[in-house]
């Protein structure tokens, strides 16, 4: 458990958060620019001095009640920022070695070879940082942080400075991180796309405060949160590749509790993942429409039978958000209020959800 | 070049070298502090360091003479410590030169330190480097061009000082007669040939120093063959 109670007056607002993040997986701090999420990360790292307490499991890094404050260089953490901040006078290999040789050999759990392999840096080792592309620099920065065998990895918008192609280049490496190293990650971002792909635990922040916190899937299914506004609204669900239709290049994904009651299937583009592989699917609310019965003669292959669970107003007065319970999982749809009215939607009404696009995230 | 000329040249070089070394040792912490502090007294310290840039050297020399003279507080201290009086000695010249050349060492260093992004030093901290470790492993190597500039300017400026030396050290051969004073003496005595020898030598020296500085501190060229 990563526990932090932090208070710090900033211009415009006072940062005042009380966090309890799981000791595994990726926790995302998500919110608009200037909401204080970077300050939280800096305070966890000890780079910023907020009032309060910070503890990683039984290891206390800050406790004002005891007058305890462990300086940054004595905290077993890795820190990656948007600008990568590689040391320009050192080669990639020397950058990777900088932190590693500053920890006692007994604490070196992650080998340099391992991070070099994990982040695909083999060909870059002799290069200087100013000869690297943005994506390469970011991968080196991540590897450099990992080479210190941290017990916690803090990432502050590590992809924000990259264009879409570079982002796509680095993202798969981030995916592998927590899986292969069993390292808890706190990830700051204002891009819902990245958060939906990477995070397991979500902390929504606004104006220095926590708006909501909990498992990613739970928060994305709520209609009352800022994440339900805008184009990124939609549920994130865990699934397993159940079947591959090689003739049509499609994969059937089993969504919901593994093998248990209440699971259902959706078809998505086959991305070459083997049957049994765990994946994550994202169903954007704008890609889900509702009907009172199954549609014949529709191009939409994914039709899911469910029951309306909740209806809420969307940002624009013409729109409504409807949460439908499909088996054991929630699916959120964005409709016009006129359609919702015409269909007579209200909690308890059986409906069919048509899902136009299923975004599969490894 | 006469033997007396060589004595003068050697004395000047010794003074400049010693001054530069002392200034690098004393000026680096000052420059680091000025570059990183948010203290309210920073402008005052910065102004004190920069004083010799705007004060006439004779003014500085005058007050140093008073301070270090037999009646001055520093003079009384050095006498009480058994060090004797500083004015009209080599040691007195070193003290005066250190003060007078201070901005030429501190300012390039300060600018070099200020150019290091805070996030680079923070990155080092997150990679387990203690404050001292960060200074020696990151700040100093990154400030290398500033160190070179500071050394060269500190040395060259000490070689070129005149007013302070005249006020503080006079013109004692082998002790306080440095090149600039010697040139002045030759001109006063209408020994233009002697003045030329030394003056031309100094012009050549200055040129050499500056060209070397610009070559050494040329921005490193990017390695060719950037992928993609």
> What SS3 string covers chain A?
CEEEEEEEECCCCEEEEEEEECCCCEEEEECCCCCCHHHHHHHHHCCCCCEEEEEECCEEEEEHHHCEECCHHHCCEEEEECCCCCCCCCCHHHHHHHHHCCCCHHHCCCCHHHHHHHCCCHHHCCCCHHHCCHHHHHHHHHHHHHCCCCCEEEEECCCCCCCHHHHHHHHHHHHHHHHHHCCCEEEEECCHHHHHHHCCEEEEEECCEEEEEEEHHHHHCCCCCHHHCCCCCEEEEEEEEEEEECCCCEEEEEECCCCCCCCEEEEEECCCCCCCCEEEEEEEHHHEEEECCCCCCCCCCEEEEEEEEEEEECCCCCEEEEEEEECCEEEEEEEEHHHHHHCCCCCCCEEEEEECCCEEEC
In the predicted model, is pLDDT for residue B222 greater than 90? no
Which positions of chain A have pLDDT values less than 70?
258-260, 362
Domain segments of chain A: what residues? 2-220, 234-361
pLDDT at B166 over 90: no
Name the residue facing B128 among A85, A99, A133 (closest C-beta).
A99
pLDDT digit string, tens, across residues B39-84? 999 999 999 999 999 999 989 999 999 999 888 898 899 888 888 8
Residue A210 CB coordination number (10 Å) = 18
Interatomic CA distance for residues B94 and B14, integer angstroms = 10
pLDDT band at B19 (very low <50, low <70, confident <90, very high): very high
Alpha-carbon distance A141 to nearest alpha carbon in chain B (angstroms): 9
- Answer whether A2-220 and A234-361 agree in fold: no
pLDDT at B189: 92
pLDDT of residue B227: 43
For B180, the token pair is 């600039």
Q: Which CATH number fits domain A2-220: 2.40.160.20, 3.90.600.10, 3.40.50.300, 3.30.1950.10?
A: 3.40.50.300
B219 confidence band (pLDDT: 50, 70, 90): low
Q: Which pLDDT does position B224 carry in this prediction? A: 41
Higher pLDDT, A227 or B109: B109
The answer to whether the beta carbons of residues B125 and B50 sit under 8 Å apart is: no
Task: Tell me the per-residue pLDDT of B81-96, one tens digit each, with 9 for 90 and over.
Answer: 888 888 888 999 999 9
- Beta-ladder partners of A354: A289, A303
Residue B223 pLDDT greater than 60, yes or no: no
Is residue A304 within 8 A of residue A292, CB to CB? The reply is no
Q: What was the pLDDT predicted at A258?
A: 64
> Would you identify the CATH topology of the domain A234-361?
OB fold (Dihydrolipoamide Acetyltransferase, E2P) (2.40.50)
Residues of B in contact with A72 (CB under 8 A): 122, 125-126
Phi, psi of A320 (to 5 degrees): -135, 150
Measured on CA atoms in the order A135, A138, A144, A150, is the torsion positive or negative?
A: negative
Average pLDDT of the residues of chain B: 90
Taking contacts as CB-CB distances below 8 angstroms, the residues of chain B near A73 are 125-131, 133
pLDDT for res A259: 62
Tokens 């007579």: give the residue: A344
Domain positions in chain B are 3-118+146-216
Q: Rounded to whole angstroms, how far apart are CA atoms A127 and A89?
A: 11
Between CA B74 and CA B151 the distance in angstroms is: 28
The DSSP secondary structure of B7-71, one letter per residue, reads: HHHHHHHHHHHHHHHHHHHHHHHHHHHHHH---TTHHHHHHHHHHHHHS-HHHHHHHHHHHHSTT
Contacts of A45 in chain B (CB under 8 A): 126
pLDDT given at position A165:
81
B226: closest chain A residue by CA: A131
User: CATH number of the domain at B3-118+146-216, please?
Assistant: 1.10.3720.10
Distance from C-alpha of A136 to C-alpha of A86, rounded to nearest angstrom: 11
> Residue B18 and residue B43: Cα distance in Å, rounded?
28
Which residues have CB under 8 Å from A14's CB, separation 6+? A7, A8, A208
Helix (H, G, I), strand (E, B) or coil at B130: coil
Whether residue B124 and residue A87 make contact (CB cut-off 8 A), yes or no, is yes
pLDDT (0 to 100) of residue B1: 76
Residue B4: what pLDDT? 86
Rg of the Cα atoms in chain B:
21
Kindly give, in sequence order, each residue whose CB lies less than 8 Å from that of residue A139, ignoring residues fewer than 6 positions away. A119, A120, A121, A170, A173
CB B27 within 8 A of CB B106: yes
Written as six digits, the tokens of B110 are 């300060």
Q: What's residue B54's pLDDT?
A: 92
Mutation target for A interface from B116, B117, B123, B131: give the one with most A CBs within 10 A. Answer: B123
Question: Are A92 and A132 in contact, with CB atoms under 8 Å apart?
Answer: yes
Contact yes or no for B123 and A88 at CB 8 A: no
Q: Quote the tokens at residue B181.
A: 């004073």
What whole-number distance in Å separates Cα of residue A77 and Cα of residue A81?
Answer: 13
Q: What token pair was written down for B134? A: 């960060």
On whether any CB of chain B is under 8 Å from the CB of A81, the answer is: yes
What are the tokens at A270? 């086959």
Report phi then psi at A133, rounded to 5: -80, 165
Query: Could you tell me which of A205, A195, A215 has the C-alpha nearest to residue A37?
Result: A205
Q: Pick from A81, A89, A144: which is nearest to B141 by CB?
A: A89
Residues contacting A12, CB < 8 A, separation 6+: A34, A207
Q: What is the pLDDT of residue A130?
A: 94
In 3D space, the residue among A325, A193, A128 whose CA is nearest the CA of residue B222 turns out to be: A128
Please give the pLDDT value at position A37. 93
- CB–CB of A229/A286 below 8 Å? no
Residue B130 distance to chain A (closest CA, Å): 6
Whole-number pLDDT of residue A342:
94
Q: Which residue has the tokens 């192609």?
A: A165
């Amino acid at each position: 458990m990563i526990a932090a109670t932090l208070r710090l007056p900033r211009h415009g607002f006072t940062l005042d958060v009380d966090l309890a993040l799981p000791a595994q997986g990726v926790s995302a701090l998500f919110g608009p620019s200037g909401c204080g999420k970077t300050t939280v990360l800096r305070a966890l790292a000890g780079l910023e001095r907020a009032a309060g307490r910070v503890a990683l499991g039984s290891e206390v890094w800050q406790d004002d009640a005891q007058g305890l404050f462990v300086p940054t260089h004595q905290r077993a953490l890795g820190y990656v920022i948007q600008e990568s901040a590689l040391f320009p006078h050192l080669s990639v290999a020397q950058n990777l070695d900088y932190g590693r040789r500053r920890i006692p050999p007994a604490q070196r759990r992650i080998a340099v070879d391992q991070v070099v392999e994990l982040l695909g840096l083999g060909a870059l080792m002799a290069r200087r940082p100013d000869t690297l592309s943005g994506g390469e620099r970011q991968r080196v920065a991540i590897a450099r942080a990992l080479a210190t065998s941290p017990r916690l990895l803090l990432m502050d918008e590590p992809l924000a400075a990259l264009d879409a192609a570079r982002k796509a280049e680095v993202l798969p490496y981030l995916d592998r991180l927590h899986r292969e190293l069993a390292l808890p990650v706190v990830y700051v971002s204002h891009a819902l796309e990245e958060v939906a792909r990477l995070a397991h635990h979500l902390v929504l922040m606004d104006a220095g405060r926590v708006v909501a916190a909990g498992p990613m899937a739970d928060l994305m299914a709520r209609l009352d949160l800022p994440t339900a506004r805008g184009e990124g609204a939609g549920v994130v669900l865990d699934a397993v590749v159940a079947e591959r239709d090689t003739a049509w290049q499609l994969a059937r994904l089993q969504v919901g509790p593994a093998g248990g009651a209440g699971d259902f299937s959706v078809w998505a583009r086959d991305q070459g993942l083997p049957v049994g592989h765990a994946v994550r699917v994202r169903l954007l609310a704008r890609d889900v429409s509702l009907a009172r019965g199954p549609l014949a003669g529709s191009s939409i292959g994914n039709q899911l039978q469910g029951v309306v669970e909740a209806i809420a107003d969307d940002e624009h007065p013409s729109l409504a958000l409807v949460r439908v319970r499909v088996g054991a999982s929630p699916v959120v749809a964005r409709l016009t209020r006129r359609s919702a009215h015409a269909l007579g939607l209200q909690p308890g009404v059986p409906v069919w959800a048509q899902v136009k696009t299923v975004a599969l995230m490894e | 070049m006469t033997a007396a000329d060589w004595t003068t040249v050697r004395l000047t070089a010794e003074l400049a070298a010693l001054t530069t070394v002392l200034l690098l040792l004393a000026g680096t912490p000052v420059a680091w502090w000025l570059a990183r502090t948010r203290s309210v007294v920073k402008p005052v310290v910065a102004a004190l360091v920069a004083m010799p840039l705007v004060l006439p050297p004779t003014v500085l020399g005058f007050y140093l003479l008073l301070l270090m003279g037999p009646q001055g507080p520093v003079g009384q201290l050095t006498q009480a410590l058994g060090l004797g009086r500083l004015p009209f000695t080599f040691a007195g010249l070193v003290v005066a030169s250190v003060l007078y050349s201070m901005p030429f060492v501190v300012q390039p260093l300060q600018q070099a330190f200020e150019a290091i992004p805070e996030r680079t030093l923070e990155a080092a901290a997150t990679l387990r480097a203690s404050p001292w470790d960060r200074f020696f492993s990151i700040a100093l190597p990154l400030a290398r061009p500033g160190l070179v500039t500071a050394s060269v300017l500190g040395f060259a400026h000490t070689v070129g000082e005149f007013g302070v030396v005249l006020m503080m050290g006079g013109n004692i051969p082998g002790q306080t007669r440095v090149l600039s004073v010697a040139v002045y003496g030759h001109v006063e005595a209408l020994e233009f040939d002697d003045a030329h020898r030394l003056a031309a030598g100094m012009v050549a020296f200055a040129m050499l120093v500056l060209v070397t500085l610009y070559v050494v501190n040329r921005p490193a060229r990017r390695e060719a063959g950037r992928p993609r």
